[in-house]
């Protein structure tokens, strides 16, 4: 799914959407916001395994600023949830939230996808190209030293280290050392991180990193 990058000021309302992806979804969302007299000044979305995370920046058509009316916000929330829900009976459901604070869009999309637990299962019919995009990941535990080491080998691209650190941070791990080496096509990362909680096993860490690399690669490619 394509991405619409943009620079937006703080004078807007951010709408966060999580739901099941389907053809025509963004068209329906745009039409609804137009009907509710909201101007979309920026939008960015990620899709993975038939789920979509979207961050919309909108203003009130009447004032040109953030939407202040609570009844209007509630009407927008209910309407967007109905559009996201559609005829689908996805067990993960849908979610709509609002914010007027400035946030790093890619960082927030990482958090939204992770909260949706999109790393818990593989997509069916995964191709050889998909497996290449997933990368090769090995996690080693050094219990006696209180840290773990993750080795990542995957296709090189912009923001790869950012995606890696975001994923480990979302899983409540602290990266305190890393080495990165690249050539024209591949990137090799070694990250040493401390366990600040026992949120997950090494297998879950590897799965989450693999999904993060795959998801971001796919969204960059289709941009």
Question: Would you write out the chain's pLDDT as a tens digit for each of its 223 residues?
Answer: 333 344 444 588 999 999 989 999 999 999 999 999 999 999 998 888 788 999 999 999 999 999 989 999 999 999 999 999 877 666 567 888 887 665 688 888 888 888 887 676 555 545 545 445 557 888 887 777 778 888 888 888 888 888 888 888 888 888 888 888 988 788 888 877 776 555 556 677 777 777 777 665 555 433 3
Copy the structure tokens of residue 56. Answer: 């919309």
Please report where in the chains the tokens 């960082």 appear, as a residue: 107
pLDDT (0 to 100) of residue 36: 95
Strand order in the sheet with 136-142: 136-142, 147-155, 186-195, 173-182
For the stretch 134-144, pLDDT in tens is: 578 888 877 77
Residue tagged 């939407």 (tokens): 67
Q: What dotted CATH number matches 128-221?
A: 3.30.70.260
C-alpha–C-alpha distance, residues 138 and 170, integer Å = 19
pTM of the model: 0.72
83 phi, psi to nearest 5 deg: -65, -45
pLDDT value of residue 78:
93
pLDDT at 41: 92
- Whole-angstrom distance, CA of residue 27 vs CA of residue 38: 14
Q: What would be the CATH architecture of the domain defined by 13-115?
A: 2-Layer Sandwich (3.30)
Stretch(es) of the chain classified as CATH 3.30.70.260: 13-115, 128-221
Q: Which residues contact 81 (CB under 8 A, 6 or more apart)?
A: 94, 96
């Amino acid at each position: 799914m394509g991405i619409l990058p943009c620079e937006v000021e703080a004078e807007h309302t951010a709408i966060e959407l999580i739901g099941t992806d389907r053809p025509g979804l963004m068209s329906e969302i745009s039409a609804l916001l137009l009907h509710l007299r909201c101007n979309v000044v920026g939008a960015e979305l990620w899709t993975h395994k038939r789920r979509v995370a979207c961050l919309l920046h909108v203003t009130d058509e009447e004032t040109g600023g953030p939407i202040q009316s609570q009844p209007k916000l509630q009407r927008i929330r209910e309407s967007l949830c109905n559009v996201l829900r559609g005829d689908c009976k996805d067990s993960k459901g849908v979610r709509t939230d609002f914010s007027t604070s400035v946030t790093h869009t890619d960082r927030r999309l990482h958090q939204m996808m992770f909260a949706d637990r999109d790393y818990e299962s593989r997509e069916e019919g995964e191709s050889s190209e998909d497996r290449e995009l997933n990368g090769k990941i090995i996690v080693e535990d050094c219990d006696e030293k209180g840290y773990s080491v993750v080795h990542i080998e995957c296709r090189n691209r912009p923001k790869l280290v950012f995606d890696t650190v975001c994923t480990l941070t979302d899983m409540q791990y602290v990266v305190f050392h890393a080495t990165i080496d690249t050539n024209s096509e591949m990137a090799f990362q070694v990250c040493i991180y401390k366990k600040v909680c026992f949120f997950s096993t090494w297998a879950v860490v590897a799965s989450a990193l693999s999904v993060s690399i795959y998801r971001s690669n796919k969204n960059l490619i289709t941009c």
